[in-house]
Amino acid sequence: MVKVRFKTQLSSYDITVVFIALAYSLAMTYLSLLKFKYFRYTSFDLGIFTQSLYSTLHGGLFFNTLEWQFHDVSTHFGVHFQPVLFLLVPIFWIHPSAVTLLVVQSLALGSSVLLAYSLAKRVLNERLALPLTVFYAFNSSLIGINLFEFHPVSLAVPLFLLTSIFLVEGRERAFILTSLLLLSVKEDTFLGVVSLSLWWALRDGLSFESLKKNLRFIVLAALAVLYGIIVIKLVIPHFGRGYLYSDLYKHVSITGRKLAYFLLFNLSFGLLPLFLPRNWVLLTFPWLESLLTSRPSQYTFGFHYPYMLVPLSFVGAIFAIRKIDMRKTLSVLLVLGLMTSLATMPVVRKPPKEQFPIVYYSILKPIPGYKTAWKVVDALLKTDLSIYTQPAFYPALAVKRNVYVYPTKIVPDLVLVDVKTYRGRVYLKRLRESVKVKYVRVYSKNGIEVYMRSDLKLPLPLEELH
């Protein structure tokens, strides 16, 4: 049985960190909801998980139309195996909306700030733990995970820190149980569980006695590898058409951009994780996953992919500080890390004139006609008609099972686009080229246009919007 320990007396450091974590959660929740309000979630994933959870509440198993259209799967498990989603179903039932997922994500990553402090305090001391917590909370990759769509992997960030705390406290049963929960987050999370288990098993060095003493951690690592193989080779293909992402590693190469990302990411942690040789056991597998892929987003700031690297790098950083005398250089390294995070911060008010190629920015400027768009979205949610739309409107409409972002295998009843945006015009053109059915425009204001199939003679709740 896992025992939960509470400390009733809080120091001034503890109270300060509570406010830091609260400020982080509130700030990220505000920015996430602002981005949603302005229709700036345009990379599908928020809509995918919103629609997957909504369909589960209505008899489906994490069904979403995008992955059905793109990958011909009837459940998200045919693309990624993420059973942790079952834990989100009751939360989503309370308030079925993309907003719920954005709030959950910000709270989860805000809790990781508290856990980062708790770990640093146990390994080092309160005085060092406080600046390290600030250092962690301002990390550009952590904020990138928070603001790029919604992904269940955000839940793994606090879980990795929690497992590390259990290791430090010698609570092995709690570590194993939390590791099992981590494996449910995504099929590749086994890499982090393997890394953390082996890293701890080798904490006393590489010798027969050390390996014998820590055999249980090595066994856990082996079982995690076996789990990963079974999920990727058997479970996901059972639900889908094979593992879709194996092709990303067919043409392995190390490029200058990958090396630049590796350097800048580690600079954002003050290079601290690299100073302790044992940390290479902790970080090699997650880094290989990012650097050997052919998908540029996996080595770009502003995405969710470093969800293992962020907590594990922080763990490696605090153990490096404990093992190596850094009294003269630590403050310099922390400042260097903060400056790097500021330089790679993936948040801007409006699209930059010159895109920094290694950073994907979250834009906080509203799309044209966003207020009108919300009125139309609210009206369309009252209908049972199928809707084809552009990615910006997909998350808001994803509490319907018949909302689509690609004109294949469907003849939608309605079309919603913003013709003042490039994507809106492209998606409208794509529909006209793919679907041989006539549509008539039934609403147009501030660039927001709604089209209806000409053979439908149904009243729409749009009249009051004119």
Instruction: Give the integer Cα–Cα distance in Å for 191 and 285.
Output: 6
Q: Where are the alpha helices (DSSP H) in 169-278?
A: 172-183, 190-201, 208-213, 215-230, 236-239, 256-267
Residue 409 pLDDT > 90: no
Residue 4 pLDDT > 60: no
pLDDT more than 90, % of the chain: 84
* Tens digit of each residue's pLDDT (9 = 90 or more) over 11-47: 999 999 999 999 999 999 999 999 999 999 999 999 9
Torsion, CA 123, CA 126, CA 127, CA 130, rounded to 10:
90
According to the 3-state scheme, what is the secondary structure of 389-457?
A: ECHHHHHHHCCCCCEECCCCCCCCCEEEEECCCHHHHHHHHHHHHHCCCCEEEEEEECCEEEEEECCCC
Q: What is the mean pLDDT of the chain?
A: 93
Residue 465 pLDDT > 70: no
pLDDT score, position 214? 85
pTM for the model stands at 0.94
Instruction: Give the integer Cα–Cα distance in Å for 418 and 329.
Output: 53
Residue 117 pLDDT > 80: yes
Longest dimension (CA), the chain: 79
Using CA of residue 255, residue 256, residue 261, residue 263, what is the dihedral sign? positive
* Tens digit of each residue's pLDDT (9 = 90 or more) over 80-105: 999 999 999 999 999 999 999 999 99
Residue 356 pLDDT > 90: no
Q: Which residues contact 266 (CB under 8 A, 6 or more apart)?
A: 273, 274, 313
DSSP 249: G
pLDDT score, position 204? 80
pLDDT score, position 325? 85
pLDDT score, position 164? 97
Residue 3 pLDDT > 60: no
pLDDT score, position 460? 75
Decide: 104 and 88 in contact? Cβ < 8 Å. yes
Question: What is the radius of gyration, based on Cα positions, of the chain?
Answer: 24
Mean pLDDT of the 423-451 span:
93
Residue 7 pLDDT > 60: no
pLDDT score, position 205? 77
Least confident segment among 81-85, 371-375, 407-411: 407-411
Picking from 153, 180, 158, 228, the residue whose alpha carbon sits closest to that of residue 2 is 180
Phi, psi for residue 194 in degrees, rounded to 5:
-60, -45
pLDDT score, position 451? 95
N-term to C-term CA, the chain: 61
